Amino acid sequence: MSRTAAILLAAGNGSRMAGTVTDKVLAPLAGRPVFAYSAAAFMRSMIADLYVVVYRDQKQMIELSAYAPTPSTLVQGGRERQDSVRNALAVLPADIEHVFIHDCARPLVRPEQLVALHKIVRREHAVVLAHRVTDTIKKHRSGGHLRTLDRSRLWAMETPQVFSRELIERAYARVAKKKLAITDDAQAVEKLDHPIALLENPHPNPKLTTPADLAYLEFLLSRETATP
């Protein structure tokens, strides 16, 4: 029987937090660390048979372990995000067939979304949680000329991003061989010219990047609590 793993990325250095918190995934959010929300959502969804928590240093590892879902393997991250993902993929048991990759700086992922993604990946082999772009996006060209892009075809990527284990390992092997720089896992799979399904997210799922995002996340959580 095939099994599913969830890679929970928590090794980012949070440089754009401007020193307001020492570790953004451990920053307090409505009384709990940011990391705890992602861990709890995955546990409630029951889609993963095991977890790989990617940490930055020993001090952070100790603190994360108190909130890590079970069963978990803790793996130290690399210099870049793609290095951290490769480190996590390297420790997966042989019977893992599907892999969730989630940035734990996005604490508002929902269990029902995880269940839906799990169903889709078994059919499509690659699926990403995403939302439609609502702003008008323009490309700035040389000479100061602008070109308006077709907004109806633009999507903003979120996490989790979910793949068959064979596909994502092959994608990252190519990234390493070609020494490519990528910003998310879907980009690695794009390099193989493999199709990727999208699951539209109607709910805010912002990434904690700057100090102002903490207040926004607090607001979103309070709004959910107040909704019957």
Sign of CA dihedral 86, 91, 97, 99: negative
Is 11 inside any structural domain?
yes
pTM of the entire predicted model:
0.95
Is 151 inside any structural domain?
no
Is 187 inside any structural domain?
yes
Ordered per-residue pLDDT tens for the chain, 228 residues: 789 999 999 998 767 776 678 899 999 999 999 999 999 999 999 999 999 999 999 999 999 999 999 999 999 999 999 999 999 999 999 999 999 999 999 999 999 999 999 999 999 999 999 999 999 999 998 888 999 999 999 999 999 999 999 999 999 999 999 999 999 999 999 999 999 999 999 999 999 999 999 999 999 999 876 655
CATH of the domain at 208: 3.90.550.10
CA atoms of 185 and 161, how far apart (whole Å)? 7
CA atoms of 151 and 132, how far apart (whole Å)? 8
Domains contained in the chain, number:
1
- For residue 206, what are its two tokens? 């912002």
Is 9 inside any structural domain?
yes
Is 146 inside any structural domain?
no
Is 138 inside any structural domain?
no
pLDDT at 226: 64
Q: Give the Å distances, CA to CA, from 16 to 30, 79, 117, 142, 208.
A: 21, 16, 30, 29, 10
Is 136 inside any structural domain?
no
Residue 207 contacts residue 10 (beta carbons within 8 Å):
no
Q: What is the CA radius of gyration of the chain?
A: 18
Contacts of 42 (CB under 8 A, 6+ apart): 6, 8, 48, 51, 69, 100, 102, 111, 114
Domain limits for position 187: 3-130+156-226
Burial 92-117 (b: 16+ CB within 10 A, else e): beeebbbbbbbbbbbbbbbeebbebb
pLDDT at 18: 63
Is 85 inside any structural domain?
yes
